[in-house]
Amino acid sequence: MSHHLVAVSDLRFAYPDGTPALQGVTFTLHHGESVGLVGANGAGKSTLLLHLAGVLAASEGTVRVGDWPVTAGTLAQVRRSVGMVFQDPDDQLFMPTVEDDVAFGPANLGLPPEEVEARVLGALERVGALHLRRRPPHRLSGGEKRAVSIATVLAMSPDVLVMDEPSSNLDPRARRRLVAQLRAFEHTKIIATHDLDLVLDVCARTIVLCGGRVAADGPTKELLADEAVLARSGLERPLRLQGCPRCGA
């Protein structure tokens, strides 16, 4: 395996109605890296993530995951190594019970039933949702749904975790629990989010997208303190890096 885990090169994509979404995106992810993908609404974050999971196919340019270029012929391999957590857990959780849903991916990988069971238990345990295993997904709270949808992907033991807005719609405590979990995952991660404080906590590196292009790519601490880059991309400093509202310091 090469030392790059994900390599995206001059990726371009336009939606069928002609709206351009990505206009030449290039970056590489290394093993074990944790990368925040930030940018204004419509900057192309979700579209980029869908390319990494092979759900959308590039109009131009290439995406490589591990040893495989993402093409129609390699989708099966690519999807074994990329685990994608969607923004709306209701899109992700489609089986009648939590455990069936977590088992869906491993079962599709053709694993023997005992191994599927072990993975289901392991993944639910990691996100602290083991007690929900027999519940139907539509009866869970928002935070529980999120935890379970992360478990559905962990159960496939992916090399790369791709997450779209993992902290949206979470209450403060659920959000804090999520941050702790994300920090504990040893996977390579790419997280698209507007929650810049989460990026500060979880990701050492940040990629800023703006208008379908990479506007900046570098260490999170420097980038998120750089007013000029943030302003150009329609972003603001994370709350924690802003001055104190009381004393202004």
Partner 1 sequence: MGRIEAALGRLGSLDELAARDTPATRLDPRAKVAVTLAFVAVVASFGRLELGRLAPLAALPLVFAALGDVPWKPLLVRLALASPFALGVALFEPFLDRAPALAVGRVTVSRGEVAFLTVLAKFALSLGAGLLLVATTRFDAICQAAARLGAPRVVVAQLSLTYRYLFVLGDEAARMVRAHGLRAPDRPRPALRTAGTLLGQLLLRATARAERIHAAMRARGFDGRLPVRESWGFRRADAVFVSAALAFLLASRALDLPGLLGATLAGALR
Which of 42, 122, 136, 211 contacts partner 1 by CB under 8 A? 136
Which of these segments, 7-15, 73-81, 170-178, 211-219, binds partner 1 (CB under 8 A)?
Answer: 73-81
Paired tokens of 28: 């590489």
231 CB-side CA count, 13 A: 3
Q: β-pairing, 160-164 with 20-30?
A: unpaired
Calpha distance 194→36 (Å, rounded)? 10
What share of residues in the chain are helix, strand, coil (percent, to 5)?
Answer: 40, 25, 35
Judged by CB under 8 A, the chain residues 138 through 167 that form the site for partner 1 are 138-139, 152-153, 156
90 part of the interface to partner 1, by CB under 8 A: yes
**Number of amino acids touching partner 1 (CB under 8 A):** 36
Per-residue CA distances from 91 to 34, 146, 192 (Å) = 25, 11, 17
22 part of the interface to partner 1, by CB under 8 A: no
47 part of the interface to partner 1, by CB under 8 A: no
Calpha distance 116→106 (Å, rounded)? 6
Q: Shortest gap between Cβ of 176 and partner 1 (angstroms)?
A: 26
Q: Shortest gap between Cβ of 242 and partner 1 (angstroms)?
A: 34
Among candidate residues 221, 248, 148, the one with its CA nearest the CA of residue 229:
221
Which of 20, 23, 31, 100 contacts partner 1 by CB under 8 A? 100
Q: Shortest gap between Cβ of 95 and partner 1 (angstroms)?
A: 7
91 part of the interface to partner 1, by CB under 8 A: yes
Paired tokens of 97: 């019970």
For 44-61, give the DSSP string. Answer: SHHHHHHHHTTSS--SEE
Q: Shortest gap between Cβ of 238 and partner 1 (angstroms)?
A: 29
Which residues of the chain form contacts with partner 1 (CB under 8 A)? 50, 53-55, 75-76, 79-80, 82-84, 86, 88, 90-92, 94-97, 100, 103-105, 107-109, 113, 116, 136-139, 152-153, 156
